[in-house]
Amino acid sequence: MAAARSTPKPPDVPGVGMGTTPNPDYHLGANDVIKVQVFGEEALSTETKVSGDGKIALPLLGVLEIQGLTVKQTEDLITNRLADGYLKYPRVSIYITRYRNFFVSGEVKSPGGYPFEEGLTVLKAITLAGGFTDKAAPGRIKIKRLKEKDEITISANLKDTVLPDDVIVVPESFF
């Protein structure tokens, strides 16, 4: 193991060095793009895409599995690994630079996957998908969402929040 490099201890400032995400319970997954910043160590800072198997590759540390971890858990993992023989006082910040897609299916003009954006609602998502078709039943929209390892289906209204990996299903009207 390499000798630990002396990195200046960063100031303890509340809120400094924390990752940003719209939901503190947001779990990282395949196709999220994250920026990993290591205070005082530009060579260790990088932007990387979470691979299909939920892993990232980082300088010094190699491949780490982060699938399902929160931003905070990922920061802690990287901090602990860097502190284990590489840096004395590592301070790691993670920022999500691009979220994975959400999906719209059913009676919309352009069904498919779209890049997630913070503050996204069902109405905005359907607008991105070209709006409702003439056959749509707007009052019966469902969202299929992964919760832990299970898929749940919830009834949705146009003001509900959309998350990455959600599948918005717009059914056909019976009339």
Q: What is the pLDDT of residues 42-53, one digit of tens each?
A: 999 999 999 999
pTM recorded for the entire structure: 0.74
CB under 8 Å to 61, separation ≥6 — which residues?
78, 81, 82, 86
Determine contact, residues 117/21, Cβ cutoff 8 Å.
no
Beta-carbon neighbour count of residue 106 at 10 Å?
21
Give CA–CA dist 14/3, Å, rounded: 30
Rounded to 5, what percent of the chain is helix, strand, coil?
15, 35, 50
CB under 8 Å to 119, separation ≥6 — which residues?
22
Q: Is it the case that residue 9 has pLDDT exceeding 90?
A: no
Q: What is the pLDDT of residues 83-99, one digit of tens each?
A: 998 999 999 999 999 99
- Which residue from 92, 88, 78, 79 is spatially nearest to 4, judged by alpha carbons? 88
Q: What is the pLDDT of residues 51-87, one digit of tens each?
A: 999 999 999 999 999 998 999 999 999 999 999 989 9
Q: Is it the case that residue 6 has pLDDT exceeding 70?
A: no
Determine contact, residues 162/22, Cβ cutoff 8 Å.
no
The predicted structure's pLDDT at residue 10: 44
Q: Is it the case that residue 8 has pLDDT exceeding 80?
A: no
Determine contact, residues 123/41, Cβ cutoff 8 Å.
no
Determine contact, residues 49/30, Cβ cutoff 8 Å.
no
The predicted structure's pLDDT at residue 26: 77
CB under 8 Å to 135, separation ≥6 — which residues?
107, 172, 173
Q: Which residue blocks in the chain are alpha helix, DSSP H?
A: 71-83, 122-128
